[in-house]
């Protein structure tokens, strides 16, 4: 499979990168590590006329502590993220999730923003154009049908990023910049929940950094992932839990977020309601895991059967909550 032809633009600063995006808009695509984008281009899923390579924009490559929290530059490699002492010691759930992305060579190339901005995936979409021709276009490729659910009214392509659920459970926000403007949004709001167009990102906008607020007292987290091959695969389901325990042994804050069981990362609000203000018991954790099972809506379009993955959400959520609770 060959790459389609494109013009490669190499800005040296964020300002220059934004200038290229403002000029070329929908015709341009950002490339960071390229571990996802180039595969999609080889499959003929994307054919941007311009690639704006962020590699030389050093101002986007940093991890720093800020007011007790963290600032993570968009271009930070996943391996750098998981090796940074401040991340390992103060936000270990982030390092844990980053270490579970793909395999070490891909972690050394893949970046934080590239991971958060992953496209949704589907068995019928992530194929060569030759393969796809035989079935005709689906919603994701601009057609009028879904190959996963016959008669389906919308695209069910699945979001399978690993670090988003951990960062969402920590309450992370994103700093997004475009030519002349800037906004900060909760990370969860980056995701539209639409399989076809999963990101609320304008064509001329760059994710510049991730901000993680200071940890709450007695906070700990855990990320659990189901995948076919433990050595490198995307999640078939994933659950992150971040819990805080107060001095009386009561759960003062709880956030549970899932991945790979819908068109975007999913926050399990009911788990928060069940756990906060309570002594965390096995029974309560089982109820929270059941709530995650109820909320998850996997489709049979990535790796394995939807009902199995949904049942595993219960298991992964239970493990993540218990591990987080026992760590503190």
Where does this chain bind ligand FAD (CB under 6 A)?
29-37, 39, 54, 74, 78, 101-102, 106, 109-111, 113-115, 117-118, 161-162, 201, 206-207, 232-234
Q: Measured from the CB of residue 310, what is the shortest distance to ligand FAD in angstroms?
A: 19
Residue 20 or 234 with smaller CB distance to ligand FAD: 234
Q: Measured from the CB of residue 119, what is the shortest distance to ligand FAD in angstroms?
A: 6
Instruction: For residues 213 and 258, give the distance between their C-alpha atoms in angstroms, rounded to a whole number.
Output: 20
Signed CA dihedral, 92, 262, 200, 41: sign only: positive
Residue 187 or 274 with smaller CB distance to ligand FAD: 187
Instruction: For residues 144 and 151, give the distance between their C-alpha atoms in angstroms, rounded to a whole number.
Output: 10
Residue 77 or 245 with smaller CB distance to ligand FAD: 77
Report the C-alpha dihedral over residues 124, 130, 134, 140, rounded to 10 degrees. Answer: 40
Q: Measured from the CB of residue 201, what is the shortest distance to ligand FAD in angstroms?
A: 6
Residue 101 or 274 with smaller CB distance to ligand FAD: 101
Residue 165 or 215 with smaller CB distance to ligand FAD: 165
Q: Measured from the CB of residue 325, what is the shortest distance to ligand FAD in angstroms?
A: 25
Q: Measured from the CB of residue 232, what is the shortest distance to ligand FAD in angstroms?
A: 5
Q: Measured from the CB of residue 308, what is the shortest distance to ligand FAD in angstroms?
A: 18
Residue 38 or 315 with smaller CB distance to ligand FAD: 38
Residue nearest to ligand FAD according to CB distances in the complex:
114
């Amino acid at each position: 499979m060959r790459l389609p032809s494109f013009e490669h633009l190499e800005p040296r600063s964020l300002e220059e990168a934004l200038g290229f995006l403002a000029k070329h808009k929908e015709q341009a695509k950002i490339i960071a590590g390229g571990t996802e984008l180039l595969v999609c281009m080889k499959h003929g899923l994307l054919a941007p006329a311009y690639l704006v390579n962020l590699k030389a924009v050093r101002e986007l490559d940093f991890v720093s502590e800020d007011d007790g929290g963290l600032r993570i530059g968009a271009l930070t490699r996943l391996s750098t993220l998981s090796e940074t002492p401040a991340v390992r010691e103060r936000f270990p759930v982030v390092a844990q999730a980053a270490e579970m992305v793909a395999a070490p060579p891909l972690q050394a190339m893949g970046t934080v923003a590239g991971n958060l901005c992953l496209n949704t995936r589907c068995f019928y979409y992530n194929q060569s154009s030759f393969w796809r021709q035989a079935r005709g276009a689906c919603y994701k490729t601009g057609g009028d049908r879904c190959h996963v659910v016959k008669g389906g009214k919308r695209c069910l392509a699945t979001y399978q990023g690993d670090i988003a659920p951990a960062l969402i459970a920590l309450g992370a926000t994103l700093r997004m910049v475009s030519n002349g403007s800037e906004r900060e949004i909760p990370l969860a709001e980056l995701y539209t929940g639409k399989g076809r167009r999963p990101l609320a990102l304008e064509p001329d906008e760059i994710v510049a950094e991730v901000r993680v607020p200071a940890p709450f007292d007695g906070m700990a987290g855990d990320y659990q992932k189901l995948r076919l091959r433990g050595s490198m695969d995307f999640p078939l389901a994933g659950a992150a839990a971040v819990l805080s325990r107060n001095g009386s042994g009561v759960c003062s804050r709880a956030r549970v977020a899932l991945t790979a069981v819908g068109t975007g990362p999913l926050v399990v609000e009911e788990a928060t309601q069940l756990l906060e203000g309570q002594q965390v018991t096995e029974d309560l954790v089982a109820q929270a895991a059941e709530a995650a099972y109820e909320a998850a809506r996997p489709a049979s379009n990535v790796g394995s059967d939807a009902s199995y993955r949904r049942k595993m959400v219960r298991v992964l959520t239970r493990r993540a909550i218990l591990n987080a609770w026992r760590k503190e």
